[in-house]
Amino acid sequence: MHRTGRSLPASMLLSIRDRRMQKANAGAPKRTGTTGTLVASYNVHKCIGLDRKFDPERTSRVIREIDPDVIALQEADNRFGDRDGLLDLSRLEHETGLVPVPIAANGKGHGWHGNVLLFKKGVVRDVHQIRLPGLEPRGAVVAEIDLDGNRTLRVIAAHLGLLRRSRSQQARVVLDIMNSPDATPTLLLGDLNEWRLGNRSALNTLHVTFGPLPPAVPTFPSNLPLLALDRIMANRHGMISAVEAHDTPLSRVASDHLPLTAFVRL
């Protein structure tokens, strides 16, 4: 991750300016000249929008807008009690072809500590559920997916904590996961809850494995995104491209985060 001399207020001003320039386009972002596997990360905020309405169908419509090949969801389960899942995954599979990566029994929840990983085509080779350290109950899902029989993609779907110290510890756990002798193409995607860049960032150790990180794209808050809390990064240079927020009238209200998308070429 490169240090930037730009102050946070200046970054916010640029984000506001860019936001105003983009508002003329009311439809979904146009992806032209890009190829590969479309991946996304989306903190669905327990299906509660900025209008404070609980609307899982609206959340599903945003996912249908994106039409990803692989998507990681955060906060897709209730946090307490039985941790009930909040989306109709059967209907989502019928409408989009997205199926959840299977995990060990976890009450009535969809995922592991609210993390749900879904994919459209391929075969799951291996899945691990990782408890992340920190004061809050945080976790990650690690899955290896054979996309078409001869290409394997490892995906680490995570939701890091609100405390900087916890995020630093959690980033080290991610590095431990990557300390395997194989060279499997790997994505880290999720709500990493870190807007700082350079040495002040709790994620600055990740450059050891993930190299220079792609530009941070603001995704929070969804109605006026100023902070790049959501990230998609890869362990191979040039593996991801066209990292951008999925900014539409629907996504601006469906959650407090905008979805983040990117194309992956293996």
Share of the chain above pLDDT 90, in %: 45
pLDDT of residue 204: 77
pLDDT in tens, 99-157: 999 887 666 666 667 899 999 988 998 898 888 888 777 889 999 999 876 788 999 99
pLDDT in tens, 58-79: 999 999 999 999 999 999 886 6
pLDDT of residue 3: 40
Q: Could you tell me which residue, 229 or 182, shows the higher pLDDT?
A: 229
Cα(227)–Cα(19) distance, integer angstroms: 13
What's at 153, amino acid-wise?
L
Mean pLDDT across 242-256: 97
pLDDT in tens, 199-210: 777 777 787 788
pLDDT of residue 159: 92
> Is the pTM higher than 0.75?
yes
Cα(112)–Cα(106) distance, integer angstroms: 7
Q: Name which of 96, 179, 92, 197 is nearest 142 in CA terms.
A: 179
Cα(153)–Cα(126) distance, integer angstroms: 11
Mean pLDDT across 79-87: 66
Do the beta carbons of residue 262 and residue 240 sit within 8 Å? yes
Can you list the domains of the chain with their CATH numbers? 36-264 (3.60.10.10)
pLDDT of residue 6: 43
Indicate the pLDDT class of residue 244, thresholds 50, 70 and 90: very high
Q: Could you tell me which residue, 34 or 81, shows the higher pLDDT?
A: 34
pLDDT in tens, 13-61: 555 545 544 554 445 555 555 778 999 999 999 999 999 999 999 999 9
Sheet containing 37-43: give its strands across. 99-100, 116-119, 70-74, 37-43, 260-264, 240-245
Do the beta carbons of residue 198 and residue 157 sit within 8 Å? no
pLDDT in tens, 184-223: 899 999 999 888 777 777 777 787 788 777 778 999 999 9
DSSP code for 101: P
Mean pLDDT of the chain: 83
